[in-house]
Amino acid sequence: MDDSDRIIIDTTTRIFQDLGAPQMIVNSGDDSWKAPLWDTLEEAGLTQTWTPDDLGGAGAGIVDGFDVLRVAGEYAVSVPLAETLLAGWLLARGGIVVPQGAMSIAPVRSGDRIYLADDGALSGTVRKVPFASAVDRIAVLAHRGDETVVALVDTADCVITAGRSLSGEPLDTVCFDGAVPESVEPAPEGLDEAALFQMGAAARASQIAGALRGILDMSVDYAKERMAFGKPIGKFQAVQHMLARLGGETAAAIAAAGSLADRIARSDSFDEKVFLEVASAKIRAGEAAGAGAGIGHQVHGAIGFTDEHVLHRYTMRLWSWREEFGSESVWAVRLGEMVAARGADELWPMVSAQ
């Protein structure tokens, strides 16, 4: 990690500490914290981490963007930061200048498709678009004949049917019928729905790694403070071993997400090596999310289950994020099919390829 990486991580951490601290959000009881946090993130260029400077972005690297998402995950804040980063990334791939403001992307589910007609209007209905009803614009991948294009659409021109994720974030159905995009550019070779889906899964893996780190820190601190039977519960071996397991799950998510970010940064296409990394990271981070959320709650006892405590801000988001951009099961079937097709003797060469 060099100094510029550190600066981005430190800046992100400071902004979330000051304006997105979970306890402050819980205490506020409303959304008044959202605008100041978002504006500050935007001013610092963090919402455009994946956009090159000639297209309006901060000109930071791929790994920087994943670092921002992991740190944001440590605060488990309900803002469309990952979605805006992904939209900026998608628009930049099409060479479209990226506007300020919160954005999302579509489509996000396999099978969903958007079309662009010769008259310049979009058509198609896509499901479970994160934060669609809470953002200004959506960056989409659409098909015009045989061609794939990147387009930028104002959400005011779409019909949005509200849906909710487990953690209460918008997960909306968006109908693009008749909407005319603000910009349309051809997508580069190899950029398709599968690539966008992989990038989304990678973003969620980083967020999960960050949230698990948050739960680990909070659970360790709580175990050191909370007294029972005359001593801090962290002195009981049963609790120590639970926290050690949480440490292991957190470590697995951090390692998987970090390895994946590095692989995407070093790749110029979404090839099989990237697929293996994305699938492994989303599966393993998703498993860690389930196990880690469970341990976090067990360590905290009853208080962790209450509305006033911050723990649920983390665990509910983990339960949502592991679902979005492909659950463990979805990715595992795809990965298993690939491994089987290559054959038993290719397993080790594939696993040890980097």
Partner 1 sequence: MASVIQFDPIQLPPEAEALRVEVRAFLKEEIAAGTFDPQTVPMTDGFSREFSRKVGAKGWIGMTWPKEYGGQERSFLERYVVTEEMRAISAPTRAHFTADRQSGPVLLKYAPEEIKRDVLPRIVSGDCCFCIGMSEPDTGSDLFAAKARAVKVDGGWQLNGSKVWTTNAHHAEYMIGLFRTSPATADNRRHGLTQFLVDMKNTDGITINPIRFMNGMHDFNEVVFEDAFITDSHLLGEVDAAWTQATTELAYERSGPERFLETLYTLVEVIRALGDSPDRRSAEGIGRLVAQLYTMRRMSVSVNGMLQAGKDPMLEGSIVKELGTNWEQALPGHVRELAAFIDEDAGNRATLDELLHHATMVAPKLTIQGGTTEILRGIVARGLGLR
Nearest alpha-carbon partner for 317 in 293, 337, 281, 339: 293
Span from 88-96, 131-139, 172-180, 217-225 in contact with partner 1 (CB under 8 A):
217-225
Binder to partner 1 among 137, 213, 300, 312 (CB under 8 A)?
213
Cα separation values, 182 from 126, 141, 188, Å: 19, 14, 19
Shortest separation between residue 337's beta carbon and partner 1, angstroms: 5
Binding status of residue 335 toward partner 1 by CB under 8 A: yes
Q: Which is nearer to partner 1, 291 or 316 (CB)?
A: 291
Using CB atoms within 10 Å of the CB of residue 145, give its burial: 0 to 12 exposed, 13 to 18 middle, 19+ buried.
Answer: exposed
Tell how far CA 234 is from the center of its chain. Answer: 32
Q: Which of 202, 281, 310, 316 binds partner 1 (CB under 8 A)?
A: 281
Distances (CA, A) of 69 to 32, 124, 231, 319, 335: 22, 30, 37, 17, 25
Tell me: does residue 70 bind partner 1 (CB under 8 A). no
Candidate residues 251, 290, 297, 298; the one interacting with partner 1 per rule CB under 8 A: 251
Interface residues for partner 1 in 18-57 (CB under 8 A)? none
Single out the residue of 45, 52, 95, 247 in contact with partner 1 (rule: CB under 8 A). Answer: 247
Please select the residue that binds partner 1; options are 35, 97, 244, 303, rule is CB under 8 A.
Answer: 244
Q: Which of 158, 161, 195, 197 is nearest to 178 (CA)?
A: 158
Distance, CA of 318 to CA of 297 (rounded, Å): 13
Let me know if 2 is exposed, middle or buried by CB neighbors in 10 A (0-12, 13-18, 19+).
exposed
Q: Does 227 bind partner 1 (CB under 8 A)?
A: no
Which of 220, 275, 297, 298 binds partner 1 (CB under 8 A)? It is 220
Q: Which residues in 325-336 are b (16+ Cβ under 10 Å) and which e?
A: bbebebbbebbe
Beta pairing, strands 183-186 & 227-228 = unpaired
d(CA 313, CA 211): 9
Nearest distance from C-beta of residue 311 to partner 1, angstroms: 15
Q: Work out how close the CB of 159 gets to partner 1 at its nearest, in angstroms, rounded to a whole number.
A: 35
83, 193, 324, 328: which one binds partner 1 (CB under 8 A): 328
Q: 325 phi and psi, to 5 degrees?
A: 55, 40
Query: Which residues lie near partner 1 (CB under 8 A)?
Result: 1, 74, 213, 216-217, 220, 223-224, 234-235, 237, 239-241, 243-245, 247-248, 250-252, 254-256, 258-259, 261-263, 276-277, 279-281, 283-284, 287, 328-329, 331-337, 339-341, 343-345, 347-348, 351-352, 354
